[in-house]
Amino acid sequence: MLANCSESLSALLEGKRTLTTYVPPERASDSFTCPHCGVLAAQRGSAVQIIQGSSFMGFNVLGVRQCWHCKNFCIWWEDQLIYPIASEFPVPNEDLPEEIRADYLEAGSIAAQSPRGAAALLRLCIQKLCEHLGYVGKTIDEATADLLKQGIPETIVKAMDVVRVTGNNAVHPGELDIADNAEIVSTLARLVNVIAENRISIPKKVGALYDGLPESAREAAEKRNAKVLRDPKSSA
Ligand SMILES: [Zn+2]
């Protein structure tokens, strides 16, 4: 059990796996990650008949599934997903706060038609995420410095600098940048997820594993921490 926990933690911390399980939508599957809401949910299937005038044109050509979570539909023509339009937009992190998740999904829904609009929404997501993490009233530059002090990986810090600079040094709600393109949109979406994973999902997961340790082990660890914090030079 502990060996499994430790392997799982190492994989998480090394970024070898994410907490978000993505199951691609398939017509024959009873559950997959919904392209509308991003939740891995059961999908109710329906049979569809095609009738033109009074003539029966086909059965089973169209496939429909409805998400139990958001009630939206996915539609296939034979085995090709035709609605919603297939997109490479990453699935949102499961722990994103609801308001940020809504902006993120809206960005995904317009990314193909309007990269500029999607990028503006994703920058807004990053700003709101920084506020959610306690960096209220700070610029992205100041929030990045605080995240670095708290031990966020340097690669994320560099990515945040890319966001700041490509956004013409401004990350304000609704602001557009003519340089935004599909690549920047993809980077911004990944950045939202990686910050959420690092600052929300991993602490949550580690906290749950830690709480599952025997009480005596937690007490010993807490005593050690208190001692080290009182006297940082001690070897605990
Ligand atoms: Zn859904």
- Tens digit of pLDDT for each residue in 176-192? 444 567 777 888 888 89
Closest CA to 22 of 41, 43, 9: 41
Do residues 79 and 146 make contact, with C-beta atoms less than 8 angstroms apart?
no
pLDDT band at 133 (very low <50, low <70, confident <90, very high): confident
**Lowest-confidence segment of 26-35, 178-187, 210-219 by average pLDDT:** 178-187
Q: Identify the pLDDT of residue 15.
A: 41
Over 80: is that where the pLDDT of 168 sits? no
pLDDT band at 46 (very low <50, low <70, confident <90, very high): confident
69: phi then psi, degrees, rounded to nearest 5:
-80, -55
Over 50: is that where the pLDDT of 2 sits? no
Residue type, 213: L
Handedness of CA 145, 149, 155, 156 (dihedral sign): negative
Report, as an integer, the average pLDDT of 11-16: 42
pLDDT band at 234 (very low <50, low <70, confident <90, very high): low
Q: Identify the pLDDT of residue 176.
A: 46
DSSP calls for 180-231: --HHHHHHHHHHHHHHHIIIIIHHHHHHHHHHTS-HHHHHHHHHHHHHHHH-
Average pLDDT value over all residues in the chain: 77
What kind and span of H or E run contains 74? strand 73-77
Report, as an integer, the average pLDDT of 133-153: 80
84: preceding bond cis by omega (within 30 degrees): yes
Over 60: is that where the pLDDT of 4 sits? no
Do residues 164 and 187 make contact, with C-beta atoms less than 8 angstroms apart?
no
How far, in Å, is the centroid of ligand 1 from the Cα of 159?
30
223 or 5: which leads in pLDDT: 223
How far, in Å, is the centroid of ligand 1 from the Cα of 20?
15
How far, in Å, is the centroid of ligand 1 from the Cα of 40?
8
How far, in Å, is the centroid of ligand 1 from the Cα of 35?
7
Reading the block at residue 69, the tokens are: 């979570």
60: phi then psi, degrees, rounded to nearest 5:
80, 5
- CB burial of residue 100 (10 Å; 0-12, 13-18, 19+): buried
How far, in Å, is the centroid of ligand 1 from the Cα of 209?
29
How far, in Å, is the centroid of ligand 1 from the Cα of 133?
26
Q: Identify the pLDDT of residue 99.
A: 92
Report, as an integer, the average pLDDT of 78-89: 74
Do residues 89 and 189 make contact, with C-beta atoms less than 8 angstroms apart?
yes
Collect all residues with Cβ–Cβ distance below 8 Å to 38 and sequence separation of at least 6. 91, 92, 94, 101, 105
Collect all residues with Cβ–Cβ distance below 8 Å to 5 and sequence separation of at least 6. 209, 212
Kind of pairing between the strands at 55-67 and 31-33: unpaired
**Lowest-confidence segment of 7-21, 28-42, 47-61 by average pLDDT:** 7-21
Q: Identify the pLDDT of residue 83.
A: 83
15: phi then psi, degrees, rounded to nearest 5:
75, 20
